[in-house]
Amino acid sequence: MYNITIPKSNVAKEATKLVHEISPEFLYNHCLRTYAFGDELGKKYGFKYDQELFYLGSILHDVGLTEHVCRKHSFEHESADHAVNFLHTHGISEEKIDVVREAIVLHASQIAEEKQPEIALVHFGAGMDVIGLRVKDISEESFNFILESYPRLGFKQSMIELIKYDAELKNDQFPNNLSSSMLRMGFIDWIMNAPFKE
């Protein structure tokens, strides 16, 4: 039977608690699916990686899209900055923090595919959940188990609305923010055509 193993360290538990408290449920579940899908791909590809660092990058990668975080810049950098501050308060080493930061900053970029596994897998997991990236590389059993464990809760429409709102919030001062760039590149069509019902 397929199982999702989440790190049990204090920092992982605190990160999960933080994201659960500040995120709408559909976004919280997306972050958990990012980890679960990415972890499944990591196993499939035979990657060797630090489970905790990969989890931290996954669970924290979208905090910049929440009302809790100061929303003045592009959300991937806001997410990374907030994650860095959070990890500093938990005594995580600078070397490890740098990995999590890069994983978050690059999670929507193909550049991540050329980086170390902890960084690449956040990109792969988020990409699978949003647009169906590499979905054929995991089993139907694990795919369905992940969706049952962390339901999508109308993810497609909710995510489109959130990205539009984020773009509108920042367009005047930061027209090249990630949300606006994604919308210009066809994000709505990508997410609507992803192999998920919602």
**What is the pLDDT averaged over residues 11-25?**
98
> How do residues 87-138 score in pLDDT, each as one tens digit?
999 999 999 999 999 999 999 999 999 999 999 999 999 999 999 999 999 9
Per DSSP, the residues of 47-116 read ----HHHHHHHHHHTTGGGSTTS--SS-HHHHHHHHHHHHHHHTT--HHHHHHHHHHHHTTTSGGGGGS-
Q: Nearest CA to 11 among 130, 79, 97, 77?
A: 97
Tell me the pLDDT band of 176, cut-offs 50, 70 and 90: confident
How far apart CA 7 and CA 37 sit, in angstroms, is 15
How many CB atoms neighbour CB 39 within 10 A? 25
What per-residue confidence (pLDDT) applies to 72?
Answer: 76
> How do residues 53-76 score in pLDDT, each as one tens digit?
999 999 999 999 999 986 778 999
What per-residue confidence (pLDDT) applies to 1?
Answer: 54
Q: Nearest CA to 7 among 46, 49, 65?
A: 49
Would you say residue 153 has pLDDT above 90? yes
Say if residue 85 is exposed, middle or buried (CB neighbours under 10 Å; 0-12, 13-18, 19+).
exposed
pLDDT more than 90, % of the chain: 91
C-beta of residue 182 within 8 angstroms of C-beta of residue 131:
no
What per-residue confidence (pLDDT) applies to 111?
Answer: 96
> How do residues 20-42 score in pLDDT, each as one tens digit?
999 999 999 999 999 999 999 99
| Longest CA pairwise span in the chain (Å) | 50
Which CATH class, in words, describes the domain spanning 10-153? mainly alpha
What per-residue confidence (pLDDT) applies to 175?
Answer: 84
What per-residue confidence (pLDDT) applies to 2?
Answer: 72
How many CB atoms neighbour CB 51 within 10 A? 16
